[in-house]
Each structure stands twice: as C-alpha cells, then as structure tokens.
Structure 1
Amino acid sequence: MSDLKKVAIIGRPNVGKSSLFNRLARQRDAITSDMSGTTRDVKKRVVTISGNRDFEILDTGGIDYSSELFSKVAEHALRAAKEADIIIYMVNGKMLPDDEDRELFYQLQALDKPLALVVNKIDNEKEEERYWEFLEFGAERTFPLSVSHNRYFNDFYAWLEEYIPPREEEGELELEEEVDPFAEMLEEIHFDEQEEEEEDRDIKVALIGRVNTGKSSLLNALVGEERTIVSDVAGTTIDPVDESIEHNDYKITFVDTAGIRRRGKILGIEKYALDRTEEMLEKADIALLLIDATVGVTELDERIAGLIEKFKLGSLIVINKWDVREEKSYEEAIDDIRDELKFLHYAPIITVSAKTGQRVHKILDQIVAIYERYKQRIPTSKLNDVLREAISRHHIPSHHGAVVKIKFATQYETKPPKIALIVNHPNFLHFSYKRYLANYIRSKFDFEGVPLDLETRKRGERKIDE
C-alpha cells in the first residue's frame, strides 16, 4: 500500500469534492450535501480505475478561512496536498472565477506536482461557456466535469492514467496473464452506465403473489397509510398502484399489483391486470414475492415466482400472515418453502404480519441491501482471483477429449450482474461447471437476493446481449 500513488482532491467548500470521491470509490462513503463545510477530516480510500490501476484518493475538507474551525480544516487539506503525488483542484463551474480560487490554485501550482483544474457542475452544453472562463488560470490541464450527471469523464481518467501505473500482475493459474482487450472494451462501453447506477437512488419494487395474499395490506403497512383499498374479497386490486417513500437516502417506489389467478380463470379485466403486471415487472428492480403462511407454497406460487426468474429481478420472499399460521416450527416452515422454491435459493426469506405490522419495517432495510448488491460491480482483478481459486479447487472438465480453458472473466453489466467467461470453446463448458462457478462466486461476493448470469464467449466477441 505504501507504493500507491496518492491523489488529493482540494477545493473550497461545496464544489463537489466528496461527490467525486464517491464516484472514484464506487460507493457512497463520504457524506454529500448542499451545506458548506460538510467534510472536515481527510478521508482516504484505495480505488481502482481501468481494471488494474490502483491509487489512494484523499477527500479533504473545503478550504475556508471564515472561522477558526474552518481554518484548521483548510490547514489539514493543504497538508494533504503536500503529501499527495497528484492534485485535483476543484472549482464550482456555476460561478465565475474569483481571486481566492486563483490564489489557492497558484499556491498548489508552486508544489510542482501533477495538477489538474477540474471545473465541476458543467451539467450541459449551454454551461460549457463558463468553463472557458477558467482557462485564464493557466493550468497545464483543465477539465470540465459534471460529477452529478457523469459528463466529460473520459479525458479526466486518461490524465490520471498518465501518472498511475498499472498493477504488476502475479502469475496466474489457467488464466492468461495479458491484459485483455475485450475486458477493456467492455469497461469503456459500460463505464458511464456504471457511474449513473452509482448515483441512482431510485428503487422500483414490485409486489407479486397469488390473489388475497395481503399485497395491499403490506403496502399500507410499509407506507404507513391507507393508500389502497383493502378487502377480504379476492381480487380487489386491479390496476397496479404506485406509492413512493424515502428510506436511507433512497426513493423506494412500490407497485401494488393485481392478484394473479390461474390462467384458466383469468377473464376480461383480470387478464388485463396480469398483462399490466408483466409490463411493470419489466421496469422493476426488486420483487417481493408474497406467500400466505396459512397455505404454504402452491403450484401457482411457483409459477408466479418464475416471473422473477424471467425478468431477472432482485428478490425477497415475504411470508405473510405469520401470526395466524398453523403450529409449525420456524425451521420446518422455512425448509418447506426452500424446497418448493429451489430456483430462488439465493433469495432471503422474511416472515411478517402485514395486519399487525410484525417485522414489516425490516423489509425496507432488506430492499436497500438487495438493491446495493443488484447494482454492484466486481472489479475484474478480484473476479479473476476468485476464478483462479475455483479452477484450482475443481478443474474444468474436458469435452470429448477437447481441452476447455477459461482465459478470464469480466462483469459487463449490473442490474442484474452479468459476467462473461472468455473460453476457447464456449459451447464445450458444461452447464454444471458454470453452475459450480456461479455458486463459488456467490460464496466470495455478497449476491444474496440477486440473480447472477454467467455467459460464455470467445475472445473478441463484441456483441453485448441482453
């Protein structure tokens, strides 16, 4: 770690330093807000760009001499700049350049280190005119950026790569040691999409289940008000009903769907309701599958659960009416459900009572946790480390005498996570071995509640399939 380059983000308060730190770190760790002076300490994080370039990023407090406290924060920030190998000085592109920014920039320029002037909050083409005003600073490199909208990052990353060397890779088992052009191509295609996902704070949650399992009651319990009509008559809900709440800095939008009956019994408006349900599932991120604890898992429940597989959603199995179930131990009840819903083995289970509110509040935390996993991206280097481990434990079977080799793996998509295995003979990798690899990857990374797609391809295939 001591050999890693240190990159310090310096600037006055409220210019977007913590937002850039979060984007580089691929997570929300620093607190971001519109209030000046939110960050007071220097935060550090080891991050990776371009798959194999590691460095330590330093997020510093805003430089402000308006009070004794802020003056100490500024002192820490400037000290971090002196310790850093590379400096990013950020300014607010929605304001015109001022003398204080110039003075601070020239002070950093005197340190004689790689230094870039980043003009943040250039959110659209019309605002680019303000960026040109900052060229008068005379910086060696000046970059317009919109951290919140993920614009103009390519040149900025290319500049960082000039000063951050690639990681020295160790010898590999079964996997090729070279840097793969396919992986680089995938990162280039999906990098912007990934950054947008990191900023995405909206979660769409579908409530699905048989008729009269308590979907409307659960929705009411979650949002804390009588938003939908609740009735003991099966099939009260026809149109999906949206309801949004805020939880842990996320906007969670629930869609209360029409109860699903056997296809043979779907007539007229209920057929319309089923079509609407499937349309909604195409746009959802997470499905809450409601099971009636007093009935257990029926054949129709299994078919409904199949929609989760069809649309590759994150999932949580919610056992409702737990307070009035038959006398059966928790372990026995859960084992029975797991046995009937084997294909949703990765989905967590929670037992609740929408009527009494028992454990309903825990559903919101589960939704956020599953969504974080649903949109996570595993760095290519870590993924291939795990792949080597898996191959060393259980070697790839040959196919009618043909040697099958996995050259490397890379995650090319999120929501849901999709991983490409680059194989010399893609069609020869047995499905059982792919299942073994998927389970092994699950054991090393937290994918609870999330489907995981593994796809085999040849080197150089450029088509990204949905």
Structure 2
Amino acid sequence: MKKIAIIGRPNVGKSSLFNRLVKKRDAITSDMAGTTRDVKRREVVINNKRALLLDTGGLDKGCELYDKIKDMSLKAAHKADIILYMVDGKGLPEDEDKKLFYELQTMGKDIALVVNKIDNDKMKDKLWDFYEFGCDAIFGISVSHNRGTVNLLEWIYNHIPDSDIIDEEAEEIISEPEIPEYENELNDEEFFAQFEDEEDGYFYTDEEEVEDDSIFAQNDKIKEFDENDINHIKIAIIGRTNVGKSSLLNALLGEERSVVSDVSGTTIDPIDESIDYKGKQLTFVDTAGLRRRGKIDGIERYALMRTKEMLENANMALVVLDASEPFLDLDEKIAGLVDQNRLACIIVLNKWDIADKNEFERIKNEVRDRFKFLAYAPIITLSANTHQRVDKLHDMILKINENYSQRITTSQLNAVIDKAQQRHQLPTMHGQVIRIYYTTQYETRPPKIAIVMNKPKGLHFTYRRYLTNKLREAFDFTGTPLLFKAKKRGER
C-alpha cells in the first residue's frame, strides 16, 4: 500500500486536507501553530485505490519540541512514496519552504506542491509566484471552501498503482470529498458541562448507571464470541500530563512513534498504532494528558473530548502514574474514567528508574488506598525511558484480555454461588426470605453475571461484594471488572 505524506510548515492546512481526504474530522484542526505534533496515519480510498495517508507536524524550528516535531515529520516523508508539500497561498513563497521542498525533491519521490487557501478566482493569479519552486505538479486549492481538489485527487490517483485497486468494477470518477463543515466544531459550554466539578475544579465525568441489559430476550443464551474482536485488543494509555505516556507508547512499539518532550501537554491529538504480538493485534492509543480544568488551554479542550471518545471504544486502559512524584487527586479523577467505561485495566508505575525503590510497599499501598475502585487492576513498575520491564507488559496485556473475554459455564458459576450461600445466607428483607434461583454469565468484555432471584432489590451491595470476592477467588478475573445484574425469573 502506497504511503502519502502531507508535509509543510505550521498552519498551512495539512490537517484540514487530511480530514478532507479521510472524509471525517479525525485530526484536530485550529489556528494555533503546532496543533499537530505526532504523525497521524489513516487508510484512505482515492476513487477505488487504497493508500495510507500521513498527517505530519509543522516543519518549524526554534524550541526543542518543534525540532522534534520537524524531525519526526521529515522521517515520515522519507518513508512515504508520495509527498504533498503544502504552502499558504495567501502569502509570498518562503525561502524556508523552497529549501525544504528542494531537499525532498532530491529523494526521487513523487512530489506535488499544494498551494492552499486559494479561496476564490481572484487569488488564482497568486499561483504564478509558486512556479519558482520548479515543480511541474502545482495545485491551487482551498480546503476550507472545498475548491480545486479534483485535479489534486486525480494526480494522486494516477500515482497509486493499479495493484491497490479495491474494486475493479468501481466507476472511475474523481469527485470532491465531502465532510461536515469545520466551523464550530465544539461548543465550549457544552464541552465543559461534561468535565467540570465546581467544588474542586478537577476534570471528571459523572458516574453513569450500567445499562439495563435484556438478558432473557434470547432465551438466556450467552453472547457468542467474536474471534476477530477478541484477537484485536484496543488499549488506551491515559494519565495526567508528563507522566510518560508517549514514552511508554514508543517503548511498547519499539520505535519513535510519538513525540516526547518535557513540555507539558506535548500530545494533543490521540495517536494510535497497532502491532502483532503472539497472534493478537494490539492497538495502542496515546491520549492527551489531562490537567486541572483551570490549566486547560484552548486546543486541549478538543483533546479531552477525543480522549473520552477513545476510552468509549477501548477494551483496556493503561493508567500511567509517575512513581517518582506524589500522586494527585487528578490521578484518581482520570482513573475514574476506566471504572466508568468498564474497561480492563493495568496500573503502570512509570519512571521506576528514578523512584525510591525502598518505598515500593508504601507506594503500592497508597495506590490501593487511592484507587479502591480499581482493586482488580494489577500493578506493574517499569521505566519507559530505559525500557525496564516494558517487555513484561505485552504478556500481561494478553493475559488480562483472556480474563476480560472469558466465559464461565452456568454450572461452574452456580457451584461457587451455592457454596457461598451455604457459608453466608442471604439476609432477609422486611422478614421476607430472599432466594437465588440460579446464576449465568450473559456477556463478556467485561464479564457480566445475571443473578436470577425472587427479590432482586433484596440483593444488598455488601452481599453483592461478597459474591464478587468469591467468584474472584474461584476464577481468574485479574485486571477486569466483574458486573452483576439481579433479575426476576422471566423478567425482560
């Protein structure tokens, strides 16, 4: 599959073109230079040919962060087969653009000069200024107004080999890609209504009631396994800023995939990358670091929304904590998102190479005390920077995925529940005897258990916790939440 890299200096419209070609608002766009920092990859279809599109960070220089972004973007260009070099058509050609363009030309790749922001016919004359780049393939377009992209798409199409055609019978029509308008992508008040706590000012989301599943609609049949789904594990890496999430992603992948910097909030747009490991596809998502509400700058508001969306689609979360510093209340708020989304979980104590090793028991106890709602999550100490014990994390992910996806037979469940009742009888409710008829698992990922009984409201939360503990003793549910639903017999 051919790789197409969109390259250029900051704020020329690279991410907007990326979104236009993938036909959805995938990459975060703004007027702030440096919004895109990592290389974002998505598969696209140009007419009937498939390609991999790369959105890169701006080719700027100055501080250490921008130097790293530029270096990673140029590496993406070197690996690409087709390069779209974008410039801002509203100004005069920049000497820095010419220098970078000439360097890319020497690589012998297919390269086009894309002059963006040619918003109307009067501005077409400005294209003549850019012919001094010495490029035959020059395209004047306006991404925001969806003008002039047909010729560009046709050029791209002609440089993708016929071997990448996905449907030989598809009608060969190059058309303007249509996606929703970019303006007013997010309303600030609506956004913060989801994430504000007026009392302490910390980011959080409200606890939601677990959906009331209709477990008897299919005659108590247990949900069938989807092998493809189970073999694909989607893992979100979450935590506050500067705890080492991007470093951990790079260590897990074995390559520099995400920009790492001491600048707080380096990652803005969530970056996902997949690897194959022991027959499983592991997709890691490096999400934006979360801060206190009062410290959130404009573009980070979009990042928070994307993080929430990623968690809704994930199976597992790696909650990354900085073991070299005291934990904060914000760490608990962030970890609460794992509980809210009912995800499998591993607690990662990062920066163990600079932490006080003699304090392990104290740190572990503090984690267990602060994160009681993640009592099921195992703890691993590692250093993403030195790769210490990172290799163990891959196998731990596979093991927890097994627990998260496992299905316990009804007979096994009932044997454990019956034994638990013999040891401690269900308390009565207003003098009425409470009976459990049987127990069955009706769904996986996470495991959901239906308790069929005469008085569902009589299942006190303390007895529910007791049954949970007994099931965890009998079966390996390490790393996964275990959900109960009390139902009447025949209840829908």
TM-score if structure 1 supplies the norm length? Answer: 0.58
Is the Cα–Cα contact under 8 Å of residues 314 and 416 in structure 1 kept in the other structure? Answer: yes
Find the aligned partners of 1:183 and 1:438 in 2 and give their Cα distance. 25
Amino acid paired to 2:341: F
Q: Deviations over 1:89-115 (max 9, x none)?
A: xxxxxxxxxxxxxxxxxxxxxxxxxxx
Is the Cα–Cα contact under 8 Å of residues 235 and 317 in structure 2 kept in the other structure? Answer: yes
Q: 1:298 matched to which residue of 2?
A: 328
Aligned: 1:387 with 2:417: yes
SS in structure 1 of the partner of residue 433 of structure 2: coil
Is the Cα–Cα contact under 8 Å of residues 453 and 487 in structure 2 kept in the other structure? Answer: yes
Equivalent of 2:428, from 398, 406, 414? 398
RMSD: 1.6
Equivalent of 1:262, from 277, 285, 292? 292
Aligned residues: percent identity?
55
Aligned: 1:415 with 2:445: yes
Find the aligned partners of 1:183 and 1:420 in 2 and give their Cα distance. 13
Is the Cα–Cα contact under 8 Å of residues 197 and 375 in structure 1 kept in the other structure? Answer: no
Aligned: 1:344 with 2:386: no
Q: 1:251 matched to which residue of 2?
A: 281
Aligned: 1:330 with 2:364: no
Amino acid paired to 1:269: I
Find the aligned partners of 2:377 and 2:259 in 1 and give their Cα distance. 29
Q: 2:73 matched to which residue of 1?
A: none
Structure 1 residue 206: Cα displacement:
0.2
Find the aligned partners of 1:322 and 1:247 in 2 and give their Cα distance. 25
Is the Cα–Cα contact under 8 Å of residues 230 and 405 in structure 2 kept in the other structure? Answer: no
Find the aligned partners of 1:402 and 1:363 in 2 and give their Cα distance. 49
Aligned: 1:214 with 2:244: yes
Give the aligned length: 278
Aligned: 1:319 with 2:349: yes
Structure 1 residue 333: Cα displacement:
1.9
Q: Deviations over 1:33-83 (max 9, x none)?
A: xxxxxxxxxxxxxxxxxxxxxxxxxxxxxxxxxxxxxxxxxxxxxxxxxxx
Find the aligned partners of 1:238 and 1:329 in 2 and give their Cα distance. 33
Q: 1:186 matched to which residue of 2?
A: 220
Q: 1:287 matched to which residue of 2?
A: 317
Is the Cα–Cα contact under 8 Å of residues 440 and 451 in structure 2 kept in the other structure? Answer: yes
Structure 1 residue 267: Cα displacement:
3.0
Q: Deviations over 1:345-385 (max 9, x none)?
A: 11000000001010001111011101111011110111001
1:43-58 alignment to 2 at 5 Å?
A: none
Find the aligned partners of 1:272 and 1:456 in 2 and give their Cα distance. 39
1:161-172 alignment to 2 at 5 Å?
A: none
SS in structure 2 of the partner of residue 290 of structure 1: strand
Equivalent of 1:436, from 446, 466, 475? 466
Q: 1:168 matched to which residue of 2?
A: none
Is the Cα–Cα contact under 8 Å of residues 282 and 311 in structure 1 kept in the other structure? Answer: yes
Amino acid paired to 2:377: A
Gaps of 5+ in 2: 1-214
Is the Cα–Cα contact under 8 Å of residues 270 and 307 in structure 2 kept in the other structure? Answer: yes
SS in structure 1 of the partner of residue 353 of structure 2: helix
Is the Cα–Cα contact under 8 Å of residues 183 and 410 in structure 1 kept in the other structure? Answer: no
Is the Cα–Cα contact under 8 Å of residues 273 and 285 in structure 2 kept in the other structure? Answer: yes
Structure 1 residue 330: Cα displacement:
2.1
Q: Deviations over 1:240-291 (max 9, x none)?
A: 0011111111000000000001123223211110110010000100000000
Structure 1 residue 199: Cα displacement:
6.6
Is the Cα–Cα contact under 8 Å of residues 344 and 446 in structure 2 kept in the other structure? Answer: yes
Find the aligned partners of 1:184 and 1:254 in 2 and give their Cα distance. 34
Gaps of 5+ in 1: 1-180
Aligned: 1:233 with 2:263: yes
Structure 1 residue 334: Cα displacement:
1.1
Find the aligned partners of 1:299 and 1:422 in 2 and give their Cα distance. 39
Find the aligned partners of 2:228 and 2:447 in 1 and give their Cα distance. 14
Q: Deviations over 1:203-239 (max 9, x none)?
A: 0000000100000000001101110111011100000
Q: 1:371 matched to which residue of 2?
A: 401
Structure 1 residue 329: Cα displacement:
3.1
Please identify runs of 4+ aligned residues in structure 1 that moved more than 6 A: none
1:141-156 alignment to 2 at 5 Å?
A: none
TM-score if structure 2 supplies the norm length? Answer: 0.55
Structure 1 residue 297: Cα displacement:
2.3
Query: Are residues 417 and 358 of structure 1, via their aligned partners in 2, closer, same or farther at CA, if it must alter by over 3 Å?
Result: same
Is the Cα–Cα contact under 8 Å of residues 296 and 337 in structure 1 kept in the other structure? Answer: no
